[in-house]
């Protein structure tokens, strides 16, 4: 007699559970990729033992391995710890006391790399086209690299001369200025962008990724002009989450390479990256006399202490103190 009873469905694998929980929490695809990588490495490091059967000793052993043998930076070690905290608390729902006792690596206190106004000008003179416009936005608004890359049409307000930065660090929105010198070039760029959008729409390929499941709440929003990326990719790609083929935003690595090339061409002996424009933005505003709270709001810092690091530039020399050698 055959058994026609339905087979018991297999529970999802651990990493699939992690992925599902991350998406429920609306974490970015970058965070998803990084957390899965660290959890996988943690399990493999302990010979594929299930995390339920491990504890503080195994977590500390893994983090020590990363620091001593892997020689990873403190920030990387802390990222691995955050992934493991997520695994135990959000997925396995084990809120063990030892998790809070695991010591995070102490981040080194370094001053940010800042360019002078002349150095910024020299860099921007060597950057044209799309990357030149993006670099000018980074310096002119204080946006982070990914905030600029992910900018949507609806968040550029020419009438108010401002840009709304959505879902920045800490999942917060903020407002920053739109430089007057970029109004004309950005309007020209958006006219070109609108034509690209119309071409995509005519082919039925105008849909873009919407955050926080907005595509279910507003089914037609994904093809609206307002939601299009200001800086689109040259072609289409497959969304790793939904499997849909879409035109995503431009690859941030291309801008990173363009900045690196401009730094080398200008002969600037500083380790400047796209983020250096943000540091320089804050520093130059303080030099111009703007108060620290205003700069804090423009940068989106939760604590003014984070913004205070830029005040070092207001002190010429070592904290504004005249060397005794110069007093002789």
CA–CA dist 54, 32 (Å, integer): 22
- Percentage with pLDDT > 90 across the chain: 58
pLDDT band at 1 (very low <50, low <70, confident <90, very high): very low
CA–CA dist 217, 222 (Å, integer): 11
pLDDT band at 243 (very low <50, low <70, confident <90, very high): confident
pLDDT, residue 285, reads 93
User: CB of 251 within 8 A of CB of 231?
Assistant: no
CA–CA dist 137, 261 (Å, integer): 18
Catalytic-labelled residue, pool 136, 278, 279, 284:
278
Q: 311 pLDDT exceeds 90?
A: no
Catalytic-labelled residue, pool 19, 150, 279, 301:
301
Catalytic-labelled residue, pool 166, 169, 201, 312:
169
Per-residue pLDDT averaged across 166-182, rounded?
85
Q: 316 pLDDT exceeds 90?
A: no
The set of residues, in sequence order, having a beta carbon less than 8 Å from that of 31 and lying 6+ positions away, is 22
User: CB of 185 within 8 A of CB of 179?
Assistant: no
For domain 14-101, give the CATH number. 1.10.150.130
Q: 318 pLDDT exceeds 60?
A: no
Q: 320 pLDDT exceeds 90?
A: no
Listed in sequence order, the DSSP H helices in the chain are: 14-24, 29-45, 56-68, 74-86, 97-101, 117-125, 129-141, 145-149, 180-202, 214-217, 252-266, 274-287, 292-299, 304-307
pLDDT, residue 213, reads 67
Pick 326 or 161 by higher pLDDT: 161
pLDDT, residue 4, reads 56
Angle at 163 between CA 138 and CA 195, to 5 degrees: 90
Q: 208 pLDDT exceeds 60?
A: yes
User: CB of 272 within 8 A of CB of 123?
Assistant: yes
Question: Is 117-313 the same fold as 14-101?
Answer: no
Per-residue pLDDT averaged across 12-24, rounded?
89
Please give the mean pLDDT across all residues of the chain. 87
Per-residue pLDDT averaged across 180-209, rounded?
95
Per-residue pLDDT averaged across 290-307, rounded?
90
Q: Where are the domains of the chain?
A: 14-101, 117-313
Per-residue pLDDT averaged across 108-137, rounded?
92
Pick 115 or 29 by higher pLDDT: 115
Per-residue pLDDT averaged across 170-186, rounded?
90
Specify whether 26 is catalytic: no
Q: 283 pLDDT exceeds 60?
A: yes
Q: What is the pTM of this model?
A: 0.77
Specify whether 169 is catalytic: yes
pLDDT, residue 98, reads 63
Per-residue pLDDT averaged across 162-175, rounded?
84
Catalytic-labelled residue, pool 144, 150, 279, 284:
144
Most confident of 24-33, 46-55, 211-220: 46-55
Specify whether 270 is catalytic: no
pLDDT band at 309 (very low <50, low <70, confident <90, very high): confident
- Both tokens of 211, joined, read 């955050």
The set of residues, in sequence order, having a beta carbon less than 8 Å from that of 8 and lying 6+ positions away, is none
Catalytic-labelled residue, pool 41, 46, 166, 275:
275
pLDDT band at 229 (very low <50, low <70, confident <90, very high): very high
Specify whether 278 is catalytic: yes
pLDDT band at 94 (very low <50, low <70, confident <90, very high): confident
pLDDT, residue 9, reads 63
Q: 60 pLDDT exceeds 90?
A: no
Q: 170 pLDDT exceeds 90?
A: no
Beta bridge pairs of residue 157: 162
Pick the CATH number of 117-313 from 3.30.70.20, 1.20.210.10, 1.10.443.10, 3.40.50.1000: 1.10.443.10
CA–CA dist 161, 171 (Å, integer): 23
Q: Give tens-digit pLDDT for 125-153.
A: 999 999 999 999 999 999 999 999 999 99
């Amino acid at each position: 007699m055959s058994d026609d009873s339905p087979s018991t469905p297999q529970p999802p694998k651990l990493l699939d559970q992690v992925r599902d929980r991350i998406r429920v929490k609306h974490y970015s695809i970058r965070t998803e990729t990084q957390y899965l990588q660290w959890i996988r490495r943690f399990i493999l490091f302990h010979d594929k033992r299930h995390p339920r059967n491990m504890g503080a000793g195994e977590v500390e052993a893994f983090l020590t391995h990363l620091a001593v043998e892997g020689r990873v930076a403190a920030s990387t070690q802390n990222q691995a710890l955050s992934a493991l905290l997520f695994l135990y608390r959000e997925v396995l729902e084990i809120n063990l006391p030892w998790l809070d006792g695991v010591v995070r690596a102490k981040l080194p206190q370094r001053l940010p790399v800042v360019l002078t106004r002349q150095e910024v000008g020299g860099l921007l003179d060597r950057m044209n086209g799309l990357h030149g416009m993006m670099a000018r936005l980074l310096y002119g608004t204080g946006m982070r690299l990914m905030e600029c890359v992910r900018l949507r049409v609806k968040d550029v307000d020419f009438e108010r001369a401002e840009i709304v930065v959505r879902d920045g660090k800490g999942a917060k929105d903020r407002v920053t200025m739109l430089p007057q010198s970029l109004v004309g070039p950005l309007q020209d760029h958006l006219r070109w962008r609108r034509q690209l959008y119309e071409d995509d729409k005519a082919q039925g390929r105008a849909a873009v990724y919407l955050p926080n499941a907005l595509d279910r709440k507003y089914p037609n929003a994904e093809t609206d002009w307002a939601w299009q990326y200001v800086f689109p990719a040259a072609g289409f790609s497959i969304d790793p989450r939904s499997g849909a083929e879409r035109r995503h935003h431009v690859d941030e690595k291309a801008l990173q390479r363009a900045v690196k090339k401009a730094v080398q061409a200008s002969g600037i002996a500083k380790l400047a990256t796209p983020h250096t424009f943000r540091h320089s933005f804050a520093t130059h505003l303080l030099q111009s006399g703007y108060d620290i709270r205003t700069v804090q709001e423009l940068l989106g810092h939760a604590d003014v202490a984070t913004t205070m690091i830029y005040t070092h530039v207001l002190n010429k020399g070592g904290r504004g103190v005249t060397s005794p050698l110069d007093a002789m």
